[in-house]
Structure 1
Amino acid sequence: MMKIVAIVGSLRKDSFNMQLVKTIEKRYSHLFEIEIADIGNLPFYNEDEEKSPSEKVQNYKKMVADADAVFISTPEFNWSMSGVLKNALEWLSRVDKPIAGKPVLPMGVSQGVLGTVRAQLHLRQVLGSIQATTLPPAGNEIFIGSAGQKFQDGYLTDEGTLKFLDLVVDKFVTFVKEQESK
């Protein structure tokens, strides 16, 4: 079974981005298993420590290296991704670079109507610079806005959004398999 690491860029207890990942984990459990990375406990990236990072960083990097693919669910803070997410990506971009060449599906949820459009633009720039392989964005961008109206009891419940998610996840699974066969 395909193994996916999910990186959630929000530390908030009732994070809609975590709820999205939990929805995906439950809805597609027949396609893949998800392991959620705990990025809130990572130390700040420090170049002085990159060659001998802490055990937390080593475990995190190994988790990503061992996965078939990565989901990144980001909130939008001040028109960009969160600092905790950027820090987590910094650790993945250095020395052994476990995210380089790894299939990644960016996504995000916000209370605003635009979803996380601006945050994901920045996220895609960073992912390109660290050589992650993303599903081409045209028609595959998961920008979930108006979150308060689309989530209930910890899960995404909006039928239109779930149908779109079904299409994108199906394309991503195919994309991952294609990348593995190269």
Structure 2
Amino acid sequence: MKVAILVGSLRENSYNKTLATFIQKRYAKDIDGELLDLNLPLYNEDLESDLPADVVAFKKEVHDADAVLFVTPEYNHSISGVLKNAIDWASRITPDLKEKPGFIVGASMGGLGTVRAQMHLRQILDTMGMRILPANEVFISAAHTKFDEKGDLIDEGTVAFLDSVVANFVAFYERNK
């Protein structure tokens, strides 16, 4: 299964980017994950008649993927502008997210993980007709204590839970493709 991975942070040492890379490596036998570049121009309808090359490439990668993994930080109780901008581009002209299966994970240093951002993200994606894996929320709190210096997730309970969520997503995808 080819999975487009959208990380809602541009920061090089983002916990969410670290989480995405961990997922990409650990579950390589189940998912062919590709981290997409979300450093896109701000969405502007005036650009739709002559899309910037990086937007064309991004939309093609999302369109060609079998599924999408959203890895979201939480900014002011919501998703980041970076992630919202990417979703806006993916939803315009061609509906690259419609009917696409997906799942959501997120990590933060706070105690609630990315609960509020993920709730908001689910609301946004629902309007696009995405099929998001239900009842498998991954809210990694205290992320600064759960990764080692190599970027490996070292909290055994979190890894075991993530193993089950990825397995559930693979089964969800197989049932819904």
TM-score range, shorter chain: over 0.9
Given the alignment, which residue of 122, 135, 147 partners 2:143?
A: 147
Q: Distance in 2 between matches of 1:52 and 1:179?
A: 34
**What do you get for the CA RMSD once the two structures are aligned?**
0.9
TM-score when scaled to structure 1?
0.94
Residue by residue over 1:19-42, the C-alpha shift from the partner in whole angstroms, topping out at 9 and shown as x without a partner, is 1111111111111211110002x1
Residue 52 (structure 1) shift: 2.9
Residue 65 (structure 1) shift: 0.7
TM-score when scaled to structure 2?
0.97
What secondary structure, in the 3-state scheme, does the structure 1 residue paired with 2:29 have? coil
Contact 1:73 1:108 in 2 (8 A): yes
Query: Which position in structure 2 is the counterpart of 1:98?
Result: 96
Query: Which position in structure 2 is the counterpart of 1:58?
Result: 56
Q: Distance in 1 between matches of 2:48 and 2:127?
A: 18
Query: Which position in structure 1 is the counterpart of 2:24?
Result: 25
Q: Distance in 2 between matches of 1:68 and 1:46?
A: 27
Q: Given the alignment of the two structures, is residue 170 of structure 1 paired with residue 164 of structure 2, yes or no?
A: no
> How many equivalent residue pairs?
176
- Consecutive unaligned residues in structure 2, runs of 5 or more: none
- AA matched with 1:61: K
Residue by residue over 1:100-148, the C-alpha shift from the partner in whole angstroms, topping out at 9 and shown as x without a partner, is 1101111100000100000001101110111111011x2x000000001
Q: Given the alignment of the two structures, is residue 77 of structure 1 paired with residue 75 of structure 2, yes or no?
A: yes
What secondary structure, in the 3-state scheme, does the structure 2 residue paired with 1:70 have? strand
- AA matched with 1:171: N
Q: Distance in 2 between matches of 1:141 and 1:162?
A: 14
Identity rate of aligned residues, in percent?
50
Deviating runs (4+, > 6 A) in structure 1? none
Query: Which position in structure 1 is the counterpart of 2:111?
Result: 113
- AA matched with 1:79: H
